[in-house]
Amino acid sequence: MTRDSPARHTPVLEGEGLVLRPWDAELVAQMARWGEYGFPYHAFDLGCLRDPARAAAELRERTAPGRHRHYVAVQAGQAVGRCSVNLEDEAGLYLWAVHVPPEHQGRGVARRMLAVLIRALEAEFPGRDFVLTSNTFAVRAHRAYLALGFRITETRWQVDREIAERLWRVTEAERAPLARHIRFHDGRWQVRAYVFRRAPGAPMDLAAAQPGGESGQRPQAPFAQ
């Protein structure tokens, strides 16, 4: 990383009724109060931020200079979602930790948040593809990604550490909805995932992402990747 690397700074971004801000203590406190999904989406839950020591550690990590930029989407002063991007992944501009808590779903937050980020990054890094991975059971998330111009380019089995650890402890009933998406292979739990790729300038459909433009019912699965 050089002194002038663009990854060292996380600029504030605005658009689609949102402000994307770098993490700060105020936003961490808000995210600590977000609702949670639990298994199998527990890796995105932020209840850990209720512990002051953990909150301080996460804030340091999310604001440290480096290849990643970490954003919190804010609407009317309220934290409503978060996302991160790795600027130096060999595959492209790699989006990850895309998360909207249950109480803020149904308003197109994920789609609007990613649209703002993608537009800014396209202007800053012209010609680069966007890439993300998402477990195959996150069907609602996939609708958002496809509307933003992403396409599924690969299906793979991978080790998702958080899910693998919980699979040893959940009941058969809790595991059953994931039956088509998980396997025990070579002594490890694996999860089936899609690789999504978006070409520079791909069209985005935000018609259903405007506030009031969706059904208003909360999806059964969070926007996560």
Q: Which domains does the chain have, with CATH numbers?
A: 6-204 (3.40.630.30)
Q: Is the pLDDT of residue 143 over 50?
A: yes
Q: Is the pLDDT of residue 221 over 70?
A: no
- Residue reference for tokens 């402000």: 19
The answer to whether 116 and 20 are in contact (CB under 8 A) is yes
What phi and psi values does residue 92 have, to the nearest 5 degrees?
A: 145, -165
Angle, CA of 35, 36 and 40, to the nearest 5°: 160
Residue range 27-53, pLDDT digits in tens: 999 999 999 999 999 999 999 999 999
Of the candidate ranges 80-84, 143-147, 192-196, 212-216, the one whose mean pLDDT is the lowest: 212-216
Taking residue 137's Cβ as centre, other Cβ atoms within 10 Å add up to 21
Average pLDDT for the chain: 90
The dihedral sign for the CA sequence 146, 151, 156, 159: negative
Q: Is the pLDDT of residue 213 over 60?
A: no
pLDDT above 70: percentage of residues in the chain: 88
* Over residues 70-75, mean pLDDT: 98
- Residue 8, pLDDT score: 59
Q: Is the pLDDT of residue 103 over 80?
A: yes
Q: Is the pLDDT of residue 125 over 60?
A: yes
- Residue 207, pLDDT score: 80
DSSP helix/strand/coil, 131:
strand
- Residue 7, pLDDT score: 45
Q: Is the pLDDT of residue 214 over 70?
A: no
- Residue 1, pLDDT score: 41
At 209, is the pLDDT very low, low, confident or very high (cuts 50, 70, 90)?
low
Distance CA 176, CA 182 (A): 10
